[in-house]
Amino acid sequence: MADLSKITCIEDLRVVAERRVPRMFYDYADSGSWTEGTYRANESDFQAIKFRQRVAVNMEGRSTAVTMVGQKAFMPVAIAPVGLTGMQHADGEIHAARAAEKFGVPFTLSTMSICSIEDIAEHTSAPFWFQLYMMRDRDAMARMIQRAKDAKCSALVLTLDLQVIGQRHKDIKNGLTAPPRPTVKNILNLMTKPQWCLGMAGTKRRTFRNLVGHVKGVSDMHSLAAWTNEQFDPRLSWADVDWVRQQWGGKLILKGIMEVEDAVLAAQHGADAIVVSNHGGRQLDGAPSSIHALPAIVAAVGDRLEVWMDGGIRGGQDVLKAWALGARGTMIGRAMVYGLGAFGEAGVSKALQILHKELDVSMAFCGRTDIRTVDRSILVPGTYPAPTIAG
């Protein structure tokens, strides 16, 4: 076991995860669609934004505490829904949820998780969030929403940008499946990942447990693949959003908003929060980065609902920049996955610790002691996207 005290940044966790996680699952997390231009822009556009350093300011008594849709959080960070998390590390979603609970930030379970809604409810005590993909089978959707209610989930995250799946070259070339098919290529790769194999041998959670056994006609991986290929619903409309909101009845977060027009519609259709997100650069390659899209959306609807963002967050400074530009929350996917793949629950905890320390110290250098007082005045003018509304 590597010395976690020597892990100082998210990149350190990524390097270890790449070494320990089977290639197809590492590539699933660490890639984008098509040319990966948007995937790279999510990070590089953050790096272009510069801080204004202040001095001789009392830095004692700092606080990063906020609320996200009424739920207290130690910092404005929630763990994003990530499919196949339980293939990065055995029982991965359980480990991530436990780390989030201990740290005091929200955890979101993906529809396409390996551990089920019931698994998370059984192994944690804090309320968690559930992310829903809209499928054609509305009865299955209604049952899934009811299961989230039964598990006392405190918010529902409806992802809007996966009506069709972007072409992800690495996933196609790797023949991504869960669990991996016993091909010669996969077997040779797994032979180099003994720790991962040992963990998987010790768990019964190796497939999409939110779906297998819960939707009609799906009993194994073969029937699941056929079902999902048919079920992602390209007809998704705002009427469907209304249907989900009525079925759910609780806090509703809409994820995948990148344009002002859609943000306005989200507010009109009763969303409590939206996530400015391009799906981590995994859907429409050539779209702007999330941080580039954020200011205009905040200017348009920030007084009507909570605006959050995800995409490209690799450190606490990125969280601080997003907050300064009006985001009232962020979601992390890859930073969590790298920690999980590297060290399991301890790695997710380390990722959260890294994010918080960078956020806390950078905020202090900018002359602020409470994140709720941070605005774009901590940023160098001209280095960040202007908060203007097109048209």
Q: Is 368 annotated as a binding residue?
A: no
Model confidence over 264-276: pLDDT tens digits? Answer: 999 999 999 999 9
Q: Is 310 annotated as a binding residue?
A: yes
Model confidence over 327-350: pLDDT tens digits? Answer: 999 999 999 999 999 999 999 999
Q: Is 37 annotated as a binding residue?
A: no
Bond before 106 cis per omega within 30 degrees:
no
Model confidence over 211-237: pLDDT tens digits? Answer: 888 877 766 555 655 676 778 788 899
d(CA 374, CA 388): 19
Q: Is 312 annotated as a binding residue?
A: yes
Give the per-residue pLDDT at 284.
96
Model confidence over 37-67: pLDDT tens digits? Answer: 999 999 999 999 999 999 999 999 999 999 9
Task: Work out the angle at residue 357's Cα, subtended by the Cα atoms of residues 82 and 44, and round it to the nearest 5 degrees.
Answer: 60
Give the per-residue pLDDT at 288.
98
The DSSP output letter for 324 is H
Residue 389 predicted with pLDDT over 60 = no
Q: Residue 133: enclosing H or E segment and its boundaries?
A: strand 129-133
Band of the pLDDT at 141, cuts 50, 70, 90? very high
Model confidence over 74-91: pLDDT tens digits? Answer: 999 999 999 999 999 999
d(CA 195, CA 54): 47
Closest C-alpha to 210, from 72, 114, 301, 299:
114
Catalytic residues: 279
DSSP string, 46-99: HHH--B----S----S-B--EEETTEEESSSEEEPP-TTHHHHSTTHHHHHHHH
Where do the domains of the chain lie, and which CATH numbers do they carry? 4-378 (3.20.20.70)
Half-sphere exposure of 241 (CA within 13 A, CB side): 23
Mean confidence (pLDDT) of the chain: 94
Q: Residue 384: enclosing H or E segment and its boundaries?
A: none
d(CA 70, CA 89): 31
User: What average pLDDT does range 254-261 have in this prediction?
Assistant: 98
Give the per-residue pLDDT at 110.
96
Band of the pLDDT at 391, cuts 50, 70, 90? very low
The DSSP output letter for 282 is T
Give how far Cα 231 sits from Cα of 24, 104, 140, 228, 235, Å: 24, 35, 10, 5, 11
Q: Cβ(76)–Cβ(307) under 8 Å?
A: no
Residue with tokens 């690495």: 170
Q: Edge to edge, what strands does the sheet with 251-257 contain?
A: 77-79, 330-332, 306-310, 273-276, 251-257, 155-159, 129-133, 108-109
Give how far Cα 356 sits from Cα of 55, 57, 94, 150, Å: 21, 20, 22, 32
**Beta bridge partner(s), residue 131:** 157
Q: Is 110 annotated as a binding residue?
A: yes
Residue with tokens 């509304």: 389
d(CA 272, CA 189): 44
